[in-house]
Amino acid sequence: MRNSLTAIGAMTFAALITTVGSAEVANAKMTKQAEAATSSMSATSPTDAAIRASNGADFLVVGVSSLPKAEAAFIKETSSESQLKAIQATISANPMLVKKLTAQNVEVKEITGATKAADGSLVFYTM
């Protein structure tokens, strides 16, 4: 009887370990899917689409230091390193926009954020 209970306990423990392991694998898969969804959403954001479509005619460059402290802090806090790299890459892929920025003595690597204004124009933030 004792051996039977030990065997049942061992099988139950093995089933528990398998279930926990399966849950960890499922959780890892869901995390990867969420990350992929987030990166694909940011790649097709209204700002990203506006940067891609821009002919370089309708944008404003704003120095973060010229903004009120709360707005400057918000710009810094809401732009992760990966988002910043994505914005800079999207700008770099638009030669007309790069040409217009260069004409205003703005280098793409100086851009620390971007937003699409209500009127459809772009606002680029620099250090």
Q: Domain locations in the chain?
A: 1-42, 44-126
pTM beyond 0.85, yes or no:
no
Cβ–Cβ contacts within 10 Å for residue 58, how many? 13
Beta strands in 36-103 (DSSP E): 59-63
Angle (CA) 21 24 28, round 5°: 145
pLDDT surpassing 70 at residue 21: no
pLDDT tens track for 55-85? 888 899 999 989 899 888 888 877 788 888 9
Nearest alpha carbon to residue 88 among 48, 44, 36: 48
What letter represents residue 52's amino acid?
R
